[in-house]
Copies of this chain bind each other. A is one copy, B any other.
Amino acid sequence: MSSPGTATTSGSAKASRTARERARAELTSEIKAEARRQLVMHGAQQLSLRAVARELGMASSAIYRYFPSRDDLLTALIIDAYDALGEAAEAADRAIGRADVRGRWLATCGAVRGWAIAQPHEYALIYGTPVPGYQAPQDTVAPAARVAFVIGSILAEAWAGDAARMNRSEPRPVPPMLAEQADLVADAIAPGLPAAVISRALVAWTQLFGMISFELFDQFKGTVDPADEFFAYTVELMADFVGLPSAGP
């Protein structure tokens, strides 16, 4: 581990050291980019190190300088995908005025769908059938939670700022164990939200991803095939469902 703070290393020495390191970083992301391209053609399960190497014009064994195994490459792709989706959701939320909680909800849901449609194979990588035999390591957990975190923040702020207008009295009592689980979710993601609201948010969450998966995985053929209007309409209904107020500030 070379300490970056060593005063004796001159500027040019630093630059030349980063030359190697930069080459490494560049090739690392070229490998990932090529692997992503292969996802499109063959899916995660058939991701082949040899094919990636071939396409990059290098020996297949060279890949092992960058990823110790096929599964590690897969993990890197999964983390990148979660991060890209999380980034898209966060950016969409950020672009709307804080007080317009419904607008933020609509924008976030739209961004998730937009990202998924733009890179369906990366979406499938994280929300489709898990690759058999592959065990996601702990590093994927935090990136995976980013979208949920955005949604949680919106609801928490809506609740804090506009609680009077959000439906405080859930007519259907939340069963005890679900209430416990919901409280844990609230603690992690949306402090202060009651279990009933969290439960509804979980319903909306599963609905959002269910709808997107159906659209991408061709289950809408013959029903709501161009799904744009269905999506827009549904997202409004779900905003009502979780109790978001109708208008902005």
Does A169 make an interface contact (CB < 8 A)? no
Which one, A3-11, A106-114, A212-220, is touching chain B? A212-220
Once A127-B217, A207-B207, A219-B127 are accepted as A-B contacts, the answer to whether A178 and B45 lie under 8 Å apart by CB is no
CB of A194 within 8 Å of the partner chain: no
- Please tell me if the beta carbons of B132 and A43 are within 8 angstroms of each other in the complex: yes
Asked if A238 is an interface residue, CB under 8 A from chain B, the answer is yes
Q: How many residues of A contact B (CB 8 A)?
A: 54
CA distance A144 to B45 in the complex (A): 25
Residues of chain B contacted by A176 (CB below 8 angstroms): 229
Q: Which residues of B contact A131 (CB under 8 A)?
A: 43
Q: How many copies does the complex hold?
A: 2
Which residues on the B side are within 8 Å of A238 (C-beta)? Answer: 203
- Does A51 lie at the interface of the complex (its beta carbon under 8 Å from any beta carbon of B)? no
Cα-based distance from A185 to B225 in the complex (angstroms): 11
Residue picked from A46, A129, A175, A177, most chain B C-beta under 10 Å: A129
Beyond the given A43-B132, A182-B224, A210-B211, please list 20 additional residue pairs across the A-B interface where CB-CB is below 8 A.
Answer: A41-B132, A42-B133, A46-B132, A141-B222, A172-B236, A172-B240, A175-B232, A175-B233, A176-B229, A178-B229, A178-B230, A181-B229, A185-B224, A199-B234, A202-B224, A203-B211, A203-B234, A206-B214, A207-B207, A209-B214
